[in-house]
Amino acid sequence: MAKPIHKLALTMIVGLCVAPTAHADDVSAGKAKAAPCAACHGEDGNSTNPAYPILAGQTARYIYTELRDFKSGRRKDPFMTPMAKNLSKQDMWDLGNYFAAQKPKPTGFTPEAGMVERGRKVVEDALCTMCHLGGFSGQNEVPRVAGQHQQYIYKQLMAFKNGERTNFPDMTSYVKSIPEKDIKAISEYIANLN
Ligand code: HEC
Ligand code: HEC
């Protein structure tokens, strides 16, 4: 028997299949607007500092959603909140389309022995790929996490677990009961995916 929350998740995914398509114009408009982002997120969204998430290859719709949430205060970060403050809805879409069109580069992350296998098992039991898709490639509002910085993935999972990141409460319910050591293993497993 599926738990009610799984049904809810499926309803959500079905409802998401209406993402607008990116046109070359949106991508070039986004490129111009992305200049201030490079200082932290790197040229073309491939950040080399693990404190800053990689945006290259992320779904446009997720980037839009996060910028909207930072602007409204639903998601908070001392560096990112001020960056989103003055963006218009159109800016957010243009930026989303630009970064989604960039190719993510491998981070060169080296996992600890045994952690990848352990993380893979936890993920299988937790049904994460029901939303994030196999290989954590993401879809629509569900982020791509494959190949993201391990430190960033770990920080976000712990923030959901501890109730510090509240802009998508379903994520909290999925990681709440996972022990910290397994969260670490999950983050290494996903960071190691390409
Ligand atoms: C001063 C550094 C800095 C600058 C400049 C900056 N960001 Fe960020 N950004 C961050 C940090 C730090 C985070 C992660 C916050 C956290 O840990 O929750 C972030 C997170 C994000 C996220 C969420 C990514 C995810 O995987 O959830 C998006 C989208 C984003 N930034 C877009 C942008 C865009 C677009 C710009 C340029 C308009 C920009 N950022 C400029 C520091 C910065
Ligand atoms: C019900 C669908 C669903 C399930 C199941 C789910 N996620 Fe998520 N996850 C999301 C959505 C949607 C977001 C983005 C929330 C937002 O808008 O900020 C997210 C965000 C995340 C993030 C933050 C990414 C970033 O760039 O900041 C990570 C990491 C993550 N999920 C990993 C997992 C893992 C690991 C599991 C399994 C234990 C899991 N998710 C299960 C839907 C889901």
In this prediction, residue 20 carries a pLDDT of: 53
Q: What is the pLDDT of residue 3?
A: 47
Using a 6 Å cutoff on CB, does residue 172 contact ligand 2?
no
pLDDT greater than 90 at residue 92: yes
Q: 116: which 2 tokens?
A: 């990848």
Integer CA distances (angstroms), 122 to 20, 109, 152, 185, in order: 34, 20, 19, 8
What is the CA(96)–ligand 1 centre distance, in A? Answer: 12
**55: Cβ below 6 Å to ligand 2?**
no
Alpha-carbon distances, residue 157 vs 18, 29, 90, 191 (angstroms): 27, 33, 29, 13
Determine the distance separating the centroid of ligand 2 and the alpha carbon of 80, expressed in angstroms. Answer: 19
Please name which of 124, 117, 114, 127 lies closest in space to residue 174, comparing C-alpha atoms: 127
Instruction: Kindly tell me if the per-residue pLDDT of 128 is higher than 80.
Output: yes
Residue 60: how many other CB atoms lie within 10 Å: 25
- What is the tens place of the pLDDT at every residue in 137-150? 999 999 999 999 99
- pLDDT tier, 14 (very low <50, low <70, confident <90, very high otherwise): very low
19-35: per-residue pLDDT in tens? 456 678 889 999 999 99
- Quick one: pLDDT at residue 194? 81
CA distance 81 to 27: 23
Say how far apart CA 168 and CA 71 lie, in whole Å: 16
Q: Tell me: pLDDT of 120 over 70.
A: yes
CA distances from 39 to 58, 101, 172, 191 (A): 18, 19, 31, 22
Summary mean pLDDT of the chain: 91
The rounded percent of the chain whose pLDDT value lies above 90 is 85
Residue 91, pLDDT score: 98
Average pLDDT over residues 102-107: 97
End-to-end CA distance of the chain: 33
The confidence score (pLDDT) of residue 6 equals 54
For residue 88, give both structure tokens.
């218009």
pLDDT digit string (tens) for 140-185? 999 999 999 999 999 999 999 999 999 999 999 999 999 999 999 9
Determine if ligand 2 sits within 6 Å of the CB of residue 83: no
| CA pseudo-torsion sign 115, 156, 125, 178 | positive
pLDDT over 70 percentage in the chain? 89
**Which amino acid residue places its CA nearest to atom 43 of ligand 2?**
131
Instruction: Kindly list the distances between the CA atom of residue 68 and the CA atoms of 29, 40, 76, 90, in Å, as whole numbers in the listed order.
Output: 18, 19, 11, 11
Given CA atoms 131, 127, 56, 36 in this order, what sign does their dihedral have? positive
User: Mean of the pLDDT values across residues 68-84?
Assistant: 98
| Residue ID of nearest Cα to ligand 2 atom 36 | 128
Average pLDDT over every residue of 57-78: 98
